[in-house]
Structure 1
């Protein structure tokens, strides 16, 4: 598999050298702060013009902080404010069962529809590097899980099979998960592999997906921590992440956790896109 350097170079150029929005291609630098000021100018300006009472000062400080955080967030993004606001971010998390009384929460950054759907497909199947900056912007919408940091958590990217890796020549999920790792400042862990006798999940029903993924993953080493953050590019039914999570609650995995002094793994999942708004 080729290294990450070419991807890193392309993203660096898109973020720091190309000041155009990665979606509409209109200049994305100055208009962001202007658009943010237009979103809530009246309340902020009214407070500024109001007598400097204690309440007014508190409200002014609060709103100023909000505007500052939003401006800082968008200025570090790769879309203009208009395109950013045009895409609905952070759908409600959904859950799948991985064991009796144990469920896996899956949080997506956005919906699997235009323009994210086309960008993911182009990147995965054609290695279209021009789509990667938009996907990076989407990844940055995922909030780092509360309490997780580099010393107590690891990111577990959805493994691919060696057959698929040879066919594609690269692993798109590993590229995306490396960006999430960099953004969250949480290391990747690659101690689980995918068995080669499974087929692609695309086009399968939920029952077929679950059957196809029976025993699809195998641990090759013990996780270094009990907080596991699973990551995949797209989740339709959650079957792949469900099967991946189950690999960590198998009898063998449970024994390794007990031996290491942990009571259980704390597993949650994150994806680039899920379902649609309709």
Structure 2
């Protein structure tokens, strides 16, 4: 499958999206990105940019959400082109590389999440949207994370039960109403510590609504991990 995809899509860097030179094609990073992978700097909150004690969200930002903690591997601007190629141009090989980088970030900067997590779940797409796109990008990220870390990934544990407008087209209040009661749990989460994974954290509305449903289904703790975060500063 990878060889077939390489014939369709020229191999590109999983971070910046640039076409890989021939000598770089055994990996998934260009020489510049491999030399300095632009992860979120430690002790910087991915949401507001303020100093924090670790590589996750600060206490001020966390007080607005139902989930217990959150972190992101990259600033959105650093991986914006790669995300676009992955989600909208269908270049799934970039997704595999991004998932591997997320796994490395967990292993190196948030090993405590690996110890705490009982199961990992992805933010779901509505079936119509997934059929149109051909895949759920967050599931691909989770599958790669699971391969590299050994985390249990429950693929269909959350469902999106109604179609919604794209969040990017709405203001913060409209986002809340758009996703209210949009998700349902298809698994019993009683007593489980759950790692909820998504590709982009902007206002946090999507992850928050998913977390509420996970708690309603019995989850003991919900932690959020995203590929990227678009900071508010």
TM-score interval (norm. to shorter): 0.7 to 0.9
SS at match of 1:212: helix
- SS where residue 112 of structure 2 aligns? coil
Closer/same/farther in 2, CA of residues 243 and 277 from structure 1, 3 Å limit:
closer
Q: Residues 215, 10 of structure 1: CA spacing in aligned structure 2 closer, same or farther, 3 A cutoff?
A: farther
- In structure 1, C-alpha distance between the alignment counterparts of 2:205 and 2:191, rounded to whole Å: 24
What is the CA–CA distance in structure 1 between the aligned matches of 2:95 and 2:230, rounded to whole Å?
20
Change in 2 beyond 3 A, CA 1:249/1:130: closer
Q: Distance in 1 between matches of 2:103 and 2:31?
A: 15
Match in the other structure for 1:32:
none
Show the counterpart of 1:56. none
* RMSD between aligned residues: 3.3
Q: Tell me the alpha carbon deviations over residues 210-259 of structure 1, each in whole angstroms, 9 at most, x when there is no partner.
A: 11111111122202751100000111111100110011223xx3xxx4xx
TM-score (norm 1): 0.62
Q: After TM superposition, which residue ranges in structure 1, 4 or more long, deviate above 2 angstroms?
A: 20-29, 76-82, 84-88, 90-99, 129-134
Q: d(CA) in 1 for partners of 2:167 and 2:83?
A: 16
Shift of 1:142: 2.5
Superposed displacement of residue 138, structure 1: 3.0
Question: Which of 195, 198, 206 pairs up with 1:229?
Answer: 195
C-alpha distance after superposition, 1:117-175 (max 9, x if no partner): 111111111202453354235323421441635x9611010011011112212211111
Aligned equivalent of 2:20, options 25, 30, 33: 25
Residue of structure 1 equivalent to 2:29:
79
Instruction: Evaluate the alpha carbon distance shift between residue 140 and residue 248 of structure 1 in structure 2; reply closer, same or farther with a 3 A threshold.
Output: closer
The answer to which structure, 1 or 2, has the higher relative contact order (CA under 8 A, 6+ apart) is 2
* Structure 2 runs not aligned, ≥5 long: 46-55
Report the equivalent of 1:163. Answer: 128
Partner of residue 91, structure 2: 128
Give 1 or 2 for the bigger CA radius of gyration.
Answer: 1
Aligned partner of 1:271 among 218, 221, 226: 226
Structure 1, unaligned runs of 5 or more: 1-5, 30-75, 258-263
- The CA distance in 1 between the partners of 2:91 and 2:141, in whole Å, is 13
TM-score with structure 2 setting the length: 0.73
State how far apart, in whole Å, the 1-side matches of 2:19 and 2:163 are: 42
CA distance in 2, matches of 1:228, 1:130: 27
Could you tell me how far apart the structure 1 residues matched to 2:121 and 2:182 are?
15
Q: Name the structure 2 match of 1:198.
A: 164
Q: How many residues align?
A: 204
Seen in structure 2, the aligned counterparts of structure 1 residues 204 and 138 have a Cα distance that, compared at 3 Å, is: farther
Deviation at 1:79, TM superposition (A): 2.7
